[in-house]
Each structure stands twice: as C-alpha cells, then as structure tokens.
A and B are shown apart, each in its own frame.
Chain A
Amino acid sequence: EVQLVESGGGLVQPGGSLRLSCAASGFTFSSYDMHWVRQATGKGLEWVSAIGTAGDTYYPGSVKGRFTISRENAKNSLYLQMNSLRAGDTAVYYCARFRFAFDIWGQGTMVTVSS
C-alpha cells in the first residue's frame, strides 16, 4: 500500500525548534519530488516546502530561512526542520508526494507554537 506517515509534531515555545518526519512506503521514494503543506485550524492549505529528486529545495517567503526540507532516500524518509517558530506556524503539517499533482498525502501531524 502506498502510504505516507508523519510524526514529530507537538507543543513548542515561540522561538523554538521542531523536526518533522515523514515515512514513505509502497513506492520508490527516491523517484518523486516531495512537499510539505500546512493547514491552520479552520483555514486553507498553504504550501510550505518542496524537495526534488536531486535534492533541490524550495520555500515560500513565509518560511524561507527558518525551515529546511531534506530527504534520506535510503530510509524512505522526508524531514522538515523548523526553527525560530512563531505562533503563526501553528498548524497541521502534511507531507505529500508529487505526481502530476499532490497525489498521496499523509494523515498530518499537529504543531502548536505557544508559551
């Protein structure tokens, strides 16, 4: 079964750091671009970061310089290192596979930034 499973979310204080993980199974992970998307409670979807098969990375202005996406193909894993967290980063974070669009999504992991 093709599957993505996120982990690593939790409660963190403003200014703190958190590392999210996404475990992939059921497909050749190294062959796909991968993304992170977040959704604040009751709000819409916001694209957060992307990593290509060659390891090239991309970010929107809202997280550039604070978030780092990476992948470890040998472990079929995707990561998101989040530093200098702000209250506005509070959201469910999803990892997603790109194939024509975001065709496979994980179940999400909740990140809460609060003192």
Chain B
Amino acid sequence: DIQLTQSPSFLSASVGDRVTITCRASQGISSYLAWYQQKPGKAPKLLIYAASTLQSGVPSRFSGSGSGTEFTLTISSLQPEDFATYYCQQLNSYPTWTFGQGTKVEIK
C-alpha cells in the first residue's frame, strides 16, 4: 500500500504569511495527488487535484506542485478563513486511495 506522510503535522502562522505543506509518498504516484481543506465539524473540501489543478471556485492563493513522491501545497498569503486542517490524498492506486495524516494550520 502507498503511504503518505505530511509535514509538518501542525503549524502556527499569521494572517498574510506564506505557508507550505509537504506530502511525501512511499512510492511514485506521478501527479495523482489531491489536497483537501477541512474545518471543524465540516466535510472536507477539494482544493487541488492532479497535483496542481485548482478546483473551480478555490481562491488563487492556493497552489500545488510536485510529482513522483514529493508534493507541496502553498498558500501564498494566509487568510483568516484558511485556518483549518489540510489533507493530501493519493489517487494512483485506483481505487484504493489513501490520505495523509493531516496538517493543522492554526493562528499564531
């Protein structure tokens, strides 16, 4: 099974900061990676798929990059509504897809 490891697990940042979250796969997954945002008590929301394609309606301050085993999610200027937990998901091993353990972004 493909394992995903996110880092950091927790980060504290201020409004306006540039934030980067990394997701590493235990084996190559090409660009078959998605990123989700989840706020407390809510369902996850798709932000990015195919490693770098922004889902419709998602603000352009979110971007994704990477391929193979290393991927990043970047928030260019953190906004108050961005404080949440972020998950990566590999979509390479159809259809048994796994998630990373999550990265919680909190207010500094």
Contacts and interface: CB of A to CB of B under 8 A. Distances in A.
Interface of A: 33, 35, 44-47, 50, 52, 58, 60, 94, 98, 100-103, 105-108
B102 A101 contact: no
Contacts of A33: 95
A94 B91 CA distance: 18
A23 to B, nearest CB: 15
A102 B36 contact: yes
A107 B43 contact: yes
Which secondary structure dominates chain B's binding surface?
A: loop
Q: Which 7 A-B pairs have the closest CB atoms?
A: A101-B34, A105-B43, A101-B49, A50-B95, A45-B99, A100-B49, A44-B102
A87 B45 CA distance: 27
B53 interface: yes
A105 B102 contact: no
Most buried by B among A45, A50, A94: A45
B75 to A, nearest CB: 18
Contacts of A50: 95-96
Given A44-B102, A108-B43, A101 B95 contact: no
Interface in B60-96: 87, 89, 91, 95-96
Contacts of A102: 34, 36, 44, 46, 89
Interface in B26-51: 34, 36, 38, 42-46, 49-50
Given A101-B46, A106-B43, A46 B99 contact: yes
Nearest to B6: A44
B87 A45 contact: yes
